[in-house]
Amino acid sequence: MKYYFWVIISLVLGMSCSLNQGSKNSQKMEKNTVNQEDTVHKIIKTETEWKLQLSPDAFRVLRQNGTEYPFSGKFDKHFQKGTYVCAGCQLPLFKSDTKYNSGCGWPAFNDQLNTNNIVQVEDHSHGMQRIEVRCQRCDGHLGHVFNDGPPPTGLRYCINSVSLDFIPDKAENKEENQTHK
């Protein structure tokens, strides 16, 4: 039931976002809403279960919509080859080849790995009008997406490091192991 609520909210907000913003990039952001044909199975946990699983900082960001301080996250200047996954449920979110240094103080990506893995929600908190991005599987708060990124998408997914884990590519692991012998 909660899943359908979020799907409907995401679709309605995605459509209203594209109506309010006429740019090409907002149209691209609308396309990134949940595709019902290829759904991700939800993980539902109590707040107590999340508190036991996550660090206090990860809980504050993922479960309470917090934000880490700029330039403080472990993945801000991280450029190893691999996949960034949700720290709450390990759902793959971004590939390292879409990561770039935006200078904003948080990890930035110009595209998501799979449009079905991230939900976009209109966010009017703190007197701003933004698009929040959440993990489709666990509903964890990841960060926001903006229309000021580099080509080809023109998007900047500004993501909290604490909401991510990293899985290095196997080829990268082999090279690292060979250099340490």
Query: What digits encode the pLDDT tens for the residues 120-163?
Result: 999 998 899 999 999 999 999 999 999 999 999 999 999 999 99
- pLDDT value of residue 6: 38
- pLDDT value of residue 36: 41
d(C-alpha 56, C-alpha 104), whole Å: 24
- Phi, psi (deg, nearest 5) at residue 84: -95, 130
* 61 token code pair: 């960001």
- pLDDT value of residue 176: 52
* 151 token code pair: 């080509």
* 36 token code pair: 């019902």
Positions of the chain with pLDDT under 50 = 1-37, 177, 179-181
- pLDDT value of residue 124: 93
Which residues form the catalytic set? 158
Range of the domain at 68: 2-179
10 and 34 in contact (C-beta within 8 Å)? yes
113 and 137 in contact (C-beta within 8 Å)? no
| pTM of the model as a whole | 0.75
- pLDDT value of residue 174: 57
Amino acid at residue number 117:
N
The CATH number for 19's domain is: 2.170.150.20
**What total number of domains does the chain contain?**
1
Where b means 16+ CB within 10 Å and e means fewer, 101-136 reads ebeeebbbbbbbbbebbbbbbbbeeeeeebbbbbbb
- pLDDT value of residue 126: 87
Which residues are paired to 159 by β-bridges?
143
